[in-house]
Amino acid sequence: MALSQVKTVALMGLAGYLIEVEVDIADGLPSYALLGLPDAALSESKDRVRSAMANSGQPWPNRKVTVSLSPAWLPKSGSSFDLPIAIALLKASGLFIDPDSEETIFIGELALDGEVRAVRGVLPALVAAKKLGIKRAVIPKPNLAEAHLVDGLELLAINSLGELLEFFINGVNLPPADEIPATARIESSVDLSDIIGQSFARWAMEIAAIGGHHLLLIGPPGTGKTMLAARIPTILPLVNPEEALEITAIQSVAGHLVSGSALNRTPPFIAPHHTTTATAMVGGGSHYIKPGAASLAHRGVLFIDEAPECHPGVLDSLRLPLESGEVTITRALGSVTYPARFMLVLAANPCPCGRYSGKGRACSCTSVQIRRYLQRLSGPLMDRIDIRVFVEPPSRTEMMGAQIGESSKLVRARVLAARARSQTRFANFDWQLNSEIPAKYLRADFRAERNAMAVLHEELEAERLSARGFHKVLRLAWSIADSRSHERPNRSDIESALSLRNSAGQLS
């Protein structure tokens, strides 16, 4: 009997667990048993591993083979277990001995010719492995860029199983990896100066960017709602390295990470189609729980155009992530939590025909039809939207004028200055943005001036604001105060915040 053991990592969401791959080759009728809650892709590993070994010049053990993935209670999914199973089989066959096996993990999918292919989730897997005391990782070469983001690990990037065996058995050096830049910002081809007019909507965008507030843009088709939303990332500051690592880990698990790319510090912009499902929006899956659009937009912008046209329940599935900043998905195989702290931007037509503007223009919709159309955005969801802006069509003077609006660079500089003021204020707290101030602190440490608070209390008593809306307006007022260099929100800041929250109120 021959027994061997190697290590790898299994992922549940972004959490990684160290897995011991044990192989026992015993006398008896030739057979292959895979134990430890494998999914369908992992159960098919036998044929991939057999062909890869044969095409790498190594024989398949024609005996009774038992492969155990421990701990057995943890579900395992994906093809990243191919390489560790092959290495464990070769070690059990006595082909080589790895003295550092206790401190080494193996990750990779095997092609039939022995090529080691890229897999998703390498970055969070290596982060978890490092925390668990692993010193060395053998990974597919296409995953090297994301692996380089984890400091303190010796990386062996390989193209094929035969290449790795040459390294272990004959000491042949692996080919050197290409130099990869540490960080990058992907410069956008769009700019805020592309927008004609829309001074109020542009100001609303700037305030939203300062505090991370959610935004609703309502207006007739062709007024520039989508153009405005697409330019929000151009005025946002870079995410910090820790947040960028978290964003990249989510993209890695989802399989959206571009091979060979550096750590991208540009806030993500995710724009799912309005026909998307609730599962695609928040994440899910039967065998492998993938992050949805809400998590892919973490620390960035989630933009949903034609929001009232979304299927019932899709937008309401975002209500909990908007409050908690994370998504927890429970399936039969377990629960997975993904971060989902994003800026939600919704765009909608003002009525079914789209021509309503409040100025008596050619709209064929009745008031009942308009009300029913906008009621597709539920009250609880709307209560979580900080800023609601009606986007008017540009005037003829604006369309014919040659004056160019402010650039994204200029607006971003103001956003950075305002955020610097808020971060100084939050130096001793656990949050960074005005939209994240907990309610209990708004009623104590972060109150507005006395006469400003009186305005809010009047709105609350008149039932024009809910308790949540009260706190939303106060957070919004702090962002306006930061943009105006006010030490504390005054009456003017509160009134401006109320105008931003209610500027589309004519349609409700």
DSSP 406-437: --HHHHHHHHHHHHHHHHHHTTTSS--SGGG-
Identical fold between 2-170 and 192-427? no
Q: How far apart are CA 332 and CA 75, in angstroms?
A: 10
- State mean pLDDT over 139-166: 91
Residue 1 above 60 pLDDT? no
Which residue type sits at 387?
I
User: Which pLDDT does position 176 carry in this prediction?
Assistant: 67
What is the bridge-based pairing of β-strands 290-291 and 283-284?
antiparallel
Closest CA to 168 of 83, 60, 109: 83
CATH T-level fold of 2-170: Ribosomal Protein S5; domain 2 (3.30.230)
User: Residues 6 or more apart from 242 whose CB is under 8 A from it?
Assistant: none
User: Which pLDDT does position 508 carry in this prediction?
Assistant: 45
User: Which pLDDT does position 101 carry in this prediction?
Assistant: 76
Residue pointed to by tokens 């308790």: 467
User: Which pLDDT does position 314 carry in this prediction?
Assistant: 95
Task: Name the DSSP letter for residue 344.
Answer: E
> Residues 402-453: pLDDT tens digits?
667 889 999 999 999 999 999 999 999 999 999 999 999 998 889 999 999 9
Q: For the domain with range 192-427, which CATH number is right: 3.20.20.140, 3.40.50.300, 3.40.720.10, 2.40.180.10?
A: 3.40.50.300
Residue 504 above 70 pLDDT? no
> Residues 367-414: pLDDT tens digits?
888 889 988 999 999 999 999 999 988 877 777 766 678 899 999 999
The full set of domain ranges for the chain reads 2-170, 192-427
Residue 259 above 70 pLDDT? no
* Cis upstream peptide for 61 (omega within 30°): no
> Residues 77-133: pLDDT tens digits?
889 999 999 999 999 988 877 766 789 999 999 999 999 999 999 999 999 999 999
Does residue 197 or residue 377 have the better pLDDT?
Answer: 377
Determine phi and psi for 32, rounding to 5 degrees.
-140, 125
